[in-house]
Amino acid sequence: MSESNDLLLDHEADGIKELDNDLPRWWVWLFFLTIAFAVVYLGYYHVFRLGPLQAGEFQIEWKRGEAIKAGALAKFEATLGRLEPSKDPVLLTQGQATFLRMCAPCHRADGGGLVGPNLTDDYWIHGSNFVDNVRTIMNGVPEKGMLTWKGVLKPNEILAVASFIYTLRGTHPPNPKPPENQQQPVKPNIYE
């Protein structure tokens, strides 16, 4: 006990006395190591700019992702001429879910048209076959207020939505929007 009394410091706060113990050597060396690391880090990233900062790394990753997406879209667009609507029930269910989430606010859940055109009749504005529908979904119709969905939806989601829209043709929803174009010759519906 006398040994700890020798280590007591002269000041006291609220009745608490402090011992004058040395920090462990490994703790002190770790502290010096963090200081050295901070100096090297500061020099490497901020003074000499040898490495990219977080914003720079983000830009690099963003460009890499955009290049991958552009390549996938180019590949997808190259196959557009050979596309047919899918009959796969799983894909159609996914297409319906995406349609209800993304398209129904303008085209209604039954495709009867609200702000956007009626998708159930034969009076299509931007082409009447499946490939035209896929292109319209991908590129949108900015002058009419339709978004470009190729940056939001993946190619398989675009195909799923277009396939689901194709199933809406010939249905008769209540109170559909009136035709906005001349009647288009429609490619036969594969679901009939």
Question: For 116-154, how does the pLDDT look when each residue is reduced to its tens digit (9 = 90+)?
Answer: 999 998 888 887 788 888 889 999 998 989 999 988 999
Q: Does one domain contain both 99 and 174?
A: yes
Q: Is residue 24 part of a domain?
A: yes
Residues 37 and 67 in one domain: no
Answer yes or no: is 15 within a domain: yes
DSSP string, 96-134: HHHIIIIIHHHH-TTS--SSSPPSSSS--SS-SSHHHHH
pLDDT reported for residue 64: 96
Please identify which residue in the block is written with the tokens 């460009």.
63
Question: Which residue range is the domain that position 69 belongs to?
Answer: 61-192
* Residue 78: how many other CB atoms lie within 10 Å: 9
What's 166's DSSP letter? Answer: H
pLDDT for 111: 93
- In this structure, what are the phi and psi dihedrals at residue 113, rounded to the nearest 5 degrees? 90, 135
Residue at 54 is within a domain: no
pLDDT, residue 136, reads 92
Task: Give the C-alpha separation, 123 to 5, whole Å.
Answer: 97
Query: Could you tell me if 91 and 159 lie in one domain?
Result: yes
Structural domain includes residue 55: no
Residues 187 and 162 occupy one common structural domain: yes
Residues 154 and 77 in one domain: yes
The verdict on 96 and 141 lying in the same domain is yes
Residue 127 belongs to some domain of the structure? yes
pLDDT at residue 16, as a whole number:
86
Amino acid 187: pLDDT:
58
Residue 78 shares a structural domain with residue 158? yes
41 with 115, same domain: the answer is no
What's the pLDDT at 78? 77
Q: Are residues 73 and 139 in the same domain?
A: yes
Segment holding 163, helix H or strand E = helix 155-168
pLDDT at 3: 60
25 occurs within a structural domain: yes
Same domain, residue pair 68 and 148: yes
- Global pTM reads 0.60
Cα 94 to Cα 71: distance, rounded to the nearest angstrom: 24
With respect to residue 119, please indicate whether it lies within any of the assigned structural domains: yes
For residue 52, tell me if it sits in a domain: no
CATH of the domain at 178: 1.10.760.10
Q: Which residues of the chain have pLDDT under 50?
A: 1, 189-192
39 and 110 part of one domain: no
Q: Are residues 35 and 97 in the same domain?
A: no
Count of structural domains within the chain: 2
